[in-house]
Amino acid sequence: MKLRAGLLLGVAFATGLAIGPVSDQLQSRFGISVMPQALAQDSSRAETYRLLNLFADVFERVRAEYVEPVNDRELIENAINGMLTGLDPHSSYMNAKSFRDMQVQTRGEFGGLGIEVTQEGGYIKVISPIDDTPASRAGVKAGDLITALDGHTVQGLSLNDAVEKMRGAPNTRIVLTVRREGNDKPLEIALVREVIKLRVVRSRLEGGDVAYIRVSSFSEQAETAMRKAFNELKAKSGDKLRGVILDLRNNPGGLLPEAISISNDYLNQGEIVSTRGRHAEDTQRWNAKAGDITGGLPMVVLINGGSASASEIVAGALQDHRRAILLGTRSFGKGSVQTVSPLPGNGGMRLTTARYYTPSGRSIQGLGITPDVEVAATREERARFGPEREADLTRALKNIGGAAQNIAPPRNDLPPIVKDIAKLPPENQPAFDPTKPETDYQLQQALTVLRAMPVPTKRASR
């Protein structure tokens, strides 16, 4: 496919296109006016117009000579998507249906399987299954590479096309072919689509005095649900909470405002995050307002390789301010911000417009956040199939503009027991069962660390 496109471009360059006829094509089909006087006055603009002429010529040749009739809209949308996906892994074009689906998903309800995905090497990579959905119940795991849908390869499909095929009417069946680390043969996983109503926050009391709160994504109302969960656990404990565990493992991110609001709930002051775009005047900073909802209770945040984007904003802010101890494994490393804009025709564009930086000024782009206490979920050494983190993705943004080291400042406030925390579970550790917290090795170590942290004598919550 790449060779064919290259040959078309080469032919177009070699033909020495006349500006007049093709400028008429651009004007009539795309509303682009190519003015000879502008070409003479501005060489940069002239080059742009020459390339637009090139595009028009390729477009005409495909329409006239491709082996089968092609749809003009499909050609243009494919070209737009190629322009955007060629920039970085997170910019893309959404047609009208995909744009509507994205808006619905952001609101926390959509139809499908319940997986967050990205694209790499022609395959669809699972960032994270969403809790209590067909995907999570069927055993789909973060890092799985989906190679086929109902027996048809995903190679050649755009990410949007693949997502659209995975979505569908409730009670319809689909079979995913998956390559998984540690498995020599592909797995076939059959799922039945459902209306996915995201429950982005789950919570419970651990030991009667620790608030365990899991946030699975940063969709709308995530902060409201998280705050409600904390207040309910506080009341259930008889106002005797001694700490909070915030679980952001396999949380692929979501809305920046929700990440800022959740960070603000646990901070009294200081910067939460800053973003820097192409121009200096685009720099923005968000600061915390006084009023930690916990009154300064000890806090541990769980992260892993599936914690990305908005999750890393929260984890980075709480780590830099020494508000929480981070435990787990290094996060995904997505340090960029995407702006979603509607386009004529009811489609939309997701465009990377800024990098974000933690309060200490570090960029985690491609690096991720290193936990204060490194603890693996399993002893298994798994073979790698494809990319695991942001830095592995094709055309990932470079890490620039941050603090010199781009690592968290060294900590001297960790409880002594941290030195005794084993990075790997014992050999007799039972297999993880989400219904049995005692099988969650990372969570159990988080509880150990939390109970070793001093509790403030005075607590004042919002």
Count the alpha carbons within 13 Å of 433 in the hemisphere toward its beta carbon.
Answer: 7
Please name the residues in contact with 300: beta carbons below 8 A apart, sequence gap of 6 or more: 243, 244, 245, 246, 324, 325, 326, 327, 446, 449, 450
**Residue 388, amino acid:** E
Residue 423 annotated in active site = no
Choosing from 309, 311, 336, 360, the catalytic residue is 309
Best CA proximity match to 313, nearest among 246, 270, 259, 363: 259
Spatial contact of 399 and 366, defined as CB atoms under 8 Å apart: yes
- Selecting among 101, 144, 265, 320, the annotated active-site residue is 320
Q: Which of 334, 336, 360, 372 is catalytic?
A: 334
Catalytic residue check, 274: no
> Which H, E and C letters describe 124-167, residue by residue?
EEEEEECCCCHHHHHCCCCCCEEEEECCEECCCCCHHHHHHHHC
- Rounded CA separation 32/47 (Å): 14
DSSP-derived pairing of the beta strands 336-342 and 348-357:
antiparallel
CB within 8 Å of 420: residues ≥ 6 apart: none
Contacts of 367 (CB under 8 A, 6+ apart): 333, 335, 391, 399, 406, 407
Cβ atoms of 58 and 12 within 8 Å: the answer is yes
Is 334 catalytic? The answer is yes
Q: Are 368 and 343 in contact (CB under 8 A)?
A: no
* Residues 214, 262 contacting (CB under 8 angstroms): no
Which of 415, 418, 416 has the alpha carbon at shortest distance from 375? 418
Residues assigned a catalytic role: 309, 320, 334
